[in-house]
């Protein structure tokens, strides 16, 4: 089955967050890293890169290359908060997100083709949403697997968007001209070794006789290199650790004031969360509502149900009740609904079984329609 995987990687993440928070850093070479002793550069702005500064370089060296640069130690909690915001958006775009680090992730878009006009357009929307909501810039690679998506996101940084074709000929045309060092896991040592075999590009590697490859690298690595040189990689996108909650939140461009608008937003969010829960095969016993007012005052309110659910209407009813009980005044900037406390061993519900079976069928149909026509169809 063809897969569609996004690799999303934020551009010069720490530096970009600093430049967002400190206008005086914008347009300037900014270098973040350990200032004491033998510190190394952890990130630098693109302005600093033009001086030859790059990450993992000793700070001393960076100071010599770019004496006029701004050198700071960095503010990790700030980056963590920005990362949280970015990952919220990732989760809004895909139910299957595998974080790779604080600022990059794989998003599995397989089966969502019907929700998007095209993966390319969807990636454009993702990039736009990241920019609008966080004022940060991301690069995206679109490919049939993780290996190719990761290469693709890096090719046109910053603000890159590269799509690798699905077919074998297209993959070869994309992959084979690239230097062999682009292959994930090919470090300096392997690269040197490959150079002695006159392998410079991925294409050279693909054409190397199998026996030569085995002799140099052993059976296992040879097989891996061979597969990668043909752009083959069937590792799944694996969300890390057990997911503790499934939710969705939305920041509004203008604060919501009318009751009808708030209820409509809750209804939409409940539908999104229900869909995600069903897709993950989960039912939540605890439903949490998050409300943020225009002045950033934030509340969360939860209710634990007697019977776990993943039905939109039940999620909506609970969220609406929680909202009314909270009764916030003033404009609402953000609303979020999440389900947690997943039911692992679902007990047999003796009462209401019939209605449940009917509802399961109903939501099966709803999800199939969403899959076919896009998530906005049922409104």
Question: Residue numbers of the site for Mg ion (CB under 5 A)?
Answer: 9-10, 13, 103
Strand positions, DSSP E, the chain:
5-10, 30-33, 41-44, 70-72, 96-101, 104-108, 138-143, 161-163, 245-256, 284-293, 298-309, 332-342
Of 102 and 197, nearer to Mg ion (C-beta) is 102
Closest separation between CB of residue 232 and Mg ion, Å?
25
Closest separation between CB of residue 13 and Mg ion, Å?
5
Closest separation between CB of residue 197 and Mg ion, Å?
32
CB 298 within 8 A of CB 291: yes
Burial readout 212-229 (b: 16 or more C-beta within 10 A, e: otherwise)? ebeebbeeeebeebbebb
Of 75 and 302, nearer to Mg ion (C-beta) is 75
What are the strands of the beta sheet with 245-256, ordered from one edge? 245-256, 332-342, 284-293, 298-309
Angle formed at CA 351 by CA 276 and CA 359, multiple of 5 degrees = 35
Of 81 and 368, nearer to Mg ion (C-beta) is 81
Of 57 and 115, nearer to Mg ion (C-beta) is 57
Of 81 and 377, nearer to Mg ion (C-beta) is 81
Nearest CA-CA partner of 12 in 97, 100, 136, 124: 136
Closest separation between CB of residue 102 and Mg ion, Å?
9
Helices then strands, counting H and E runs in the chain, come out as 13, 12
Q: Is 298 helix (H, G, I), strand (E, B) or coil?
A: strand
Task: Look at the block and give the residue holding tokens 């949403």.
Answer: 129
CB 152 within 8 A of CB 143: yes
Active-site entry in 104, 163, 272, 314? 104
**3-state DSSP percent of the chain in helix, strand and coil, to 5:** 45, 25, 30
Handedness of CA 155, 157, 162, 164 (dihedral sign): positive
Of 13 and 93, nearer to Mg ion (C-beta) is 13
Q: Would residue 104 show up in a list of annotated catalytic residues for this protein? A: yes
Closest separation between CB of residue 276 and Mg ion, Å?
26
Closest separation between CB of residue 43 and Mg ion, Å?
8
Task: Kindly list the catalytic residues.
Answer: 104
């Amino acid at each position: 089955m063809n897969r569609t995987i996004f690799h999303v990687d934020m551009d010069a993440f720490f530096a970009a967050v600093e430049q967002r928070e400190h206008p005086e850093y914008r347009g300037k070479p900014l270098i973040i890293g350990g200032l004491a002793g033998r510190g190394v550069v952890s990130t630098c702005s693109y302005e600093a890169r033009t001086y030859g500064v790059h990450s993992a370089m000793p700070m001393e060296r960076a100071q010599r290359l770019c004496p006029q640069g701004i050198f700071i130690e960095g503010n990790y909690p700030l980056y963590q908060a920005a990362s949280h915001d970015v990952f919220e958006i990732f989760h809004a775009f895909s139910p299957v997100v595998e974080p790779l680090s604080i600022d990059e992730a794989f998003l599995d878009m397989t089966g969502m083709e019907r929700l998007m006009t095209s993966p390319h357009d969807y990636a454009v929307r993702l990039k736009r949403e990241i920019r609008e909501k966080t004022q940060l810039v991301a690069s995206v690679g679109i490919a049939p697997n993780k290996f190719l998506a990761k290469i693709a996101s890096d090719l046109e940084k910053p603000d890159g968007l590269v799509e690798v074709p699905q077919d074998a000929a297209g993959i070869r045309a994309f992959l084979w001209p690239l230097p062999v060092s682009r292959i994930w896991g090919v470090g300096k040592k392997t690269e040197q070794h490959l150079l002695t075999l006159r392998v410079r590009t991925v294409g050279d590697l693909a054409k190397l006789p199998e026996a030569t490859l085995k002799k140099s690298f052993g059976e296992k690595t040879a097989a891996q290199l061979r597969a990668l040189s043909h752009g083959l990689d069937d590792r799944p996108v694996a969300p890390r650790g057990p997911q503790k909650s499934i939710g969705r939140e939305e920041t509004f461009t203008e604060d919501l004031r009318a009751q009808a608008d708030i209820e409509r937003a809750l209804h939409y969010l409940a539908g999104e969360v229900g869909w995600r829960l069903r897709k993950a095969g989960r039912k939540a016993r605890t439903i949490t509502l998050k409300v943020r007012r225009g002045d950033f005052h934030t509340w969360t309110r939860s209710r634990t149900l007697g019977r776990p659910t993943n039905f939109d209407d039940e999620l909506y009813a609970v969220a609406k009740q929680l909202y009314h009980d909270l009764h916030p005044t003033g404009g609402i900037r953000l609303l979020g609904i999440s389900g947690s406390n997943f039911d692992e061993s679902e007990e047999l519900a003796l009462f209401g079984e019939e209605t449940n079976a009917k509802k399961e069928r109903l939501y099966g149909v709803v999800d199939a329609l969403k899959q076919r026509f896009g998530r906005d169809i049922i409104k």
